[in-house]
Amino acid sequence: MTEARARPGIELSPGALTAAGVGSLALGAAASWSDLLLVVGGRVVPGWGVSAVLFVLALVLWRSFVRAGRRGEAVLLSVVRPGWLRPTTVLLIVAAVSGIAWGALDDLISDARYYVLRPTGPGGCTAVVRETSFLVIGDGEAYAVGRTGLALGEAGSWVVDDGYRPVAAGTYELDWERDGGLLVISGSGTDPVVRGGMTDIDCGW
């Protein structure tokens, strides 16, 4: 007769939890102040949204670290010096929270709208547009999103008079070739494009 033995759970070490938590904060802070965006299931997650997810992940990891410490399985002083950890962590938290708040407020004030354009290009390359309207100016940015669903920065931008939104109004053309795409933005008869308007969509094949 054999005895059944419970398999011990796999637990992360204090060093791994700390590194993952600080790393998530660092990525979240960087994402909140960058021009990146993520497309998941046909929906666009702006940079500040990606940062918010990373920030929550960092808090979860930090909570796990604290619980481990209370059980006597980890001691913070044995991992890093408090003098190094506290100022760095506080700085990253401030940077991440400020970036998230600024990004969300900017989207709210400018009434930002995101569009995933169809059709897609070769290799699944996708053009994504962010349009905003504030006072009498309409702004737009285009992003090239590859298979990963991530765009690390804008591919091009434009400005339209009187807050006009060309993509929302359908006054644009997107043409694909084997080596990339071309997005051409057009204004209306009374609201012309005053800057930009042609953007190469290149996912870096």
CA distances from 156 to 4, 99, 178, 184, 191 (A): 62, 22, 20, 11, 20
- Cβ neighbours of residue 4 closer than 8 Å, sequence gap 6 or more: none
Pairing of strands 193-196, 150-151: unpaired
**Which one is predicted more confidently, 24 or 97?**
97
Residue percentage of the chain with pLDDT more than 90: 38
- Cβ neighbours of residue 196 closer than 8 Å, sequence gap 6 or more: 156, 157, 158, 159, 185
When pLDDT is averaged across residues 105-125 and rounded to a whole number, the result is 93
Q: In the prediction, which pLDDT does 5 show?
A: 46
pLDDT class for 87, splitting at 50, 70, 90?
confident
When pLDDT is averaged across residues 16-22 and rounded to a whole number, the result is 61
Residue percentage of the chain with pLDDT more than 70: 72
Q: In the prediction, which pLDDT does 94 show?
A: 82
Q: In the prediction, which pLDDT does 82 show?
A: 46
Reply yes or no on whether the pLDDT at 108 is more than 90.
yes
When pLDDT is averaged across residues 130-157 and rounded to a whole number, the result is 91
* Closest by CA position to 17, among listed 81, 94, 69: 69
How many angstroms separate the CA atoms of 101 and 107, rounded?
Answer: 10
How many angstroms separate the CA atoms of 94 and 90, rounded?
Answer: 6
Instruction: List the beta bridge partners of residue 150.
Output: 38
Buried b (16+ CB within 10 A) or exposed e, 138-149: bbbbbbbbbeeb
When pLDDT is averaged across residues 142-164 and rounded to a whole number, the result is 91
pTM, whole model, 2 decimals?
A: 0.75
